[in-house]
Structure formats: C-alpha cells, structure tokens
Structure 1
Amino acid sequence: MFVVTGATGNVGRHVVRELAEAGAEVCALTRNPETARLPSGVRAARTEDLPFEGATALFLNPAVVWNGADALLRRATEQGVRRIVLLSSSAALDPGPGNPIGTHHRDLELAIEALGVEWTFVRPGAFAVNALQWADEIKSGDVVHGPYAECQTAPIHEADMGEVAARALLGDDLVGQAPVLTGPESLAFAEQARIVGEAIGRPLRYEELPREVVREGMIKGFATPEIADALLDVFAAGVGRPAEISAETERITGHPGRTFAQWAADHKADFS
C-alpha cells in the first residue's frame, strides 16, 4: 500500500491519481477525509491518525511536517514503510544561512537518509501554481501586482511533479536519486501574467511593486521575515537572467514538461 500525504493538495492529488490509474492500493491522507474527492478505490484517512499499517511506501509533502517530521517518520518506519519519496525543493542544493527554505528541505532529506530506507527526493524549482496568488486581483481587474517584473523562472506544472513522484514510488529507477525538476521554458513574471490573460481571454498587465511593499505583504500573509527575504533575494537575482531548464522531467516521464500556457489553460476556472 502507498500512503500519500497532502493528498488533496496541488501535487498530492496528482500522485494519488497516477497511483490509482496504475492499479495501486492507496491511502490518501488529508485534513478532511469526508470532503476529499478522490479516485474510485482510494481510501481517505486523517493525516494526524498516521495510518501506516500495511504500507510499504510513502509520499511525503513537507508542508505536512513543517514543524517537525520525527513522529511521522518514526511511525511510518515502525509500521513497515521502506521507501519514502519526498517532495523537496531545488533550494536544498544550497542550504545554509540566508536560505531557510533550502535548509528546511535539506534537513528533512538528511533525516530520511538516516532512516536507512529507500528514498527519492523530488526537487522542483518554481511552481506554476504559485500564479494562483494573482487570482483575486484578476477576478476584479486587469492588473497583477508583484515584485521584480523581469525575474525569470521556469515554472513547473504540478501534474509533472505528481507523475515523477508516482514513478519513484512504483519503480526502482529513481531510488537514491534527487532529480531537479523545472518547466520547459524560462518566463519572466510579466510574461506569466500575459499568458494567464491569454488563457482567460483578456489582457493582463503586471505592475511591479517596491521590494519593501511586497515584503510587508508577505510577512502579513504567509512568510516569516527570513523566508520573505530569501524569496525576494532569489527573485532579485533572477531579473533579466534566463532560468536554467532541467531535462529531468522529460527523462523521467518520457514526454516534454507541460508548458505554463497549458497550466494556465488547465486553471482558467480559478481566475474567473
């Protein structure tokens, strides 16, 4: 049996779908099993119940264990889990002071390595789904606000991350590997806003805000000052600099990575 944490999240739902389509037995962990919309045959359970009995492999979303993974990992291995596929981050390549996101993910990777289980660390860069932060603005107008309009990233579709993770769970080819994943093209934030506009059928304009204004909003919302500074430093470094494109997505899945335009088309309803 495969256990999937964050099973109704952006990536987890694709992992669940891929496993279910492969005929695997899946236990999907979520905060609200009663409202989870899952494929036929998939069992839903509460994350906090840690139902690992009979499980052999685990997909771990780090958001589920941001405040500590010890209890979950201990329970999983005690109950027989022998393979862990972690949704990590390319930021783990450069952990240390000034990079709390990379440090968190690398620490979690090291904790999994220390268990002596089979592991794969899926290391995506920028998520295409981050563009959903613009949804409220787009629903009410034609201007998107954010930092560093010319910062370039290579946003990856969450379906590609889910497909890679499922392959790592189902087969042996990726054991002991930590593939860095990106989308197939480098795009500035302003270009991403334009592409969303094309998908929904009206022009959108990206308006750059001063760093301190963005930082204040991030801290009021979801980020600590350290995380806000780290993200903004990354964005500043990406201004006018094409993002590196990884070949790993296509190598592992056997098809080119989904474009940002495809992602925008898939998410039209989220901006309406």
Structure 2
Amino acid sequence: MILITGANGVVGRQVKNVLLRQGIDVTTITRGDGDLFSPAWIEPALEGVEAIQISPRATGPGLEELLKLAAGRGVRRVVLLSATTVEYPAGEARFAAQFKKAEELVTRSGLEWTVLRLADFAANALAWVPQLQAGDVVRGAYGRAATSPIHETDIAEVAARGLLGDLPAGSVSTLTGPGSVDQHEKVRLIGAAAGRALSFQELPPERVRQGMLAQGLPEEVPDRLLGSLADYSERPGPTTTTVEELLGRPALTFADWARDNATAFQAQSIRS
C-alpha cells in the first residue's frame, strides 16, 4: 500500500494514477480529511502502508509527527517532494527554508528516503486561465523570468519509482524540464497549442502584487511568486538531465505540456 499526501494536488493525482495503472494499492489523505496529523486520526491510515509520498505544503507543521508515526507503524520508505530552491536559491529565503527543514526531517526519520527537488510546475500556467477568459493577453511581472518548468507526468513517474523502491535509497534528485523558457515564450506556446494568438504584457511588480491581494490571496502568494520571478529574470533557473537519466526517455517540454492541456486554454472552452 502506498500513502499519498496532498492527493488533490496536480502531482498527487498524477502519482496516484501512475500507481493504480500498475495495479498498486493506493490510499490518500488531504487537508480536507480533518485534523490530519492527530495521532488518533492518522494511525489507522498507516495500517499496511509500505511507502509515503510527502508534499510539505499538504503536511505543514505536522510532518515531523507523521514521520514518527510512520516509522512506528512499520512504513519502510518515504519520497519527499522538495524544491530546486534548496540547491539553487531564488526568491525569499524563508520559502526555501521550509523545504530544507522538510528535507532534514525526512533524512533523520529512520526511513528509507528519496528527495525530489522540483523546478516550477508547468501546470502553474493554469493560473492564467482567468485572464484569458477576458481576452488574449496575459498580464504579469518579470516577463523575461526564465525557468525549465517540469511536466507533472515526469514528476509522477519518477516519484512512483521512488515509492516502489526503484530509486536508490538516500538519493537526492533535481528534476526540471529539458529547456529554459521565459513567460513570453510560455504564453506563445500555449497560444500555439490552443489555436489562439496570445501575448504577455509586462506590468510593474507592485501592481501585480496589489492585484493578487485584491483577489483575496494571502500575502504569501505574491511574495513567493514575485520573489522567485525577480531572481529568475536576472538568472534563469536550473536545467538538469535527471528526468531523462531516471526514466530512459527525454523529459517532456513545456510545449508538450501546452498541447496536453490545450483544451483549458481554447477560447470556446474558457469563454463558454
């Protein structure tokens, strides 16, 4: 049995599907399940679990308790979804520190562990859909901020191997897409996939921040986003070949992701 935390997220859903296609039993827990890390609640969910996938944003401050419970109930291994910013700093240090703390807890847990440091998700581009409901322009800050975004399918396939014990215990892998793209190029590729002529319009960062806060988003969201984009506009995020090395095939590109998700951006779909 494999336990997935953050199962409602983009990656959690994909990992679950990969494992189910292989005939692996999967159980999931999410924040919506209640007091997630109360021992009285979580211990029954660990019955028969051999491996756990950890999403730090899902577990939050309960991660240490979860790991102790897991070790006590005979769980063998853990796969942690961390971030490239632990190794390649970008944005405010406090956000990378959260992932670094999670890595420290996992490596001290007594379980067999695998850490996956992830580049920004290609799926983060879905945040642009509301803007594209109103027109053909995406407005944001730092248009030249460049990263190598990773397709959730690649994350899921690597994570599944780790959960099944097919990656070396005690390994740290930095996973990115195969090539660097900035925000202008991302929007262009989405438009090409969706059959629309789309463009990116750069706005001052403070205007973007105020707009996000006006939507009711907590301050952490623009702080996390704009801090990283500012740094990536000066120095592109890392690009590795690790996905290809682990999976034996090329990593999926952002263009691949755009084609896979074209229906979300097609005019008829989002304006109906």
- Does the alignment reach a TM-score above 0.5? yes
Answer yes or no: is the 8 Å Cα contact 2:88–2:237 preserved in 1. Answer: no
Identical-residue share of aligned pairs (%): 40
Contact 1:52-1:79 within 8 A present in 2 as well? yes
Pair 1:173 & 2:197 matched: no
- Are the aligned partners of 1:122 and 1:178 in contact in 2 as well (CA < 8 Å)? yes
- For residue 219 of structure 2, what is the amino acid of its counterpart? T
The amino acid of 2:62's aligned partner reads G
Contact 2:91 2:226 in 1 (8 A): no
Secondary structure at the aligned position of 1:122 is classed as strand
Q: Report the secondary structure of 1:140's partner residue.
A: coil
2:28 is aligned to 28
1:125 corresponds, among 91, 113, 119, to: 119
Q: Distance in 2 between matches of 1:66 and 1:142?
A: 37
Amino acid in structure 2 at the alignment position of 1:15:
V
Q: Say which is worse superposed, 212-221 or 105-114, in terms of deviation.
A: 212-221
Higher helix share: 2
How many aligned positions are there?
Answer: 260
Gaps spanning 5+ residues in structure 2: where? Answer: none
AA in 2 matched with 1:173: L
The answer for the alignment partner of 1:73 in structure 2 is 67
In structure 2, the partner of 1:162 is: 156
The residue identity in structure 1 corresponding to 2:135 is G
Pairwise CA RMSD: 2.5
Please tell me whether the aligned partners of residues 90 and 231 of structure 2 are also in contact (alpha carbons under 8 angstroms): no
Deviation at 1:66, TM superposition (A): 2.3
- Confirm or deny that 1:186 pairs with 2:180: yes
CA contact (8 A) 2:178 2:251 kept: yes
- Give the drift of 1:115: 1.3
Q: Deviations over 1:181-227 (max 9, x none)?
A: 111111110110111111111111101110111223344554535x6
Partner of residue 108, structure 1: 102
The partner residue of 1:224 within 219, 222, 246 is: 219
In 2 relative to 1, CA 97–206 (structure 1 residues): closer, same or farther, beyond 3 Å?
Answer: closer
- Tell me what 2:261 maps to: 267
Q: Does 1:140 align with 2:120?
A: no
Shift of 1:240: 6.4
Matched, 1:18 2:18: yes
Change in Cα spacing, 1:97 to 1:232, as seen in structure 2 (3 Å) is: closer
**Which stretches in structure 1 are left out of the alignment for 5+ residues?**
34-44
2:79 to 79, 85, 91: 85
Contact kept, 8 Å, 2:120 with 2:149, in 1: the verdict is yes
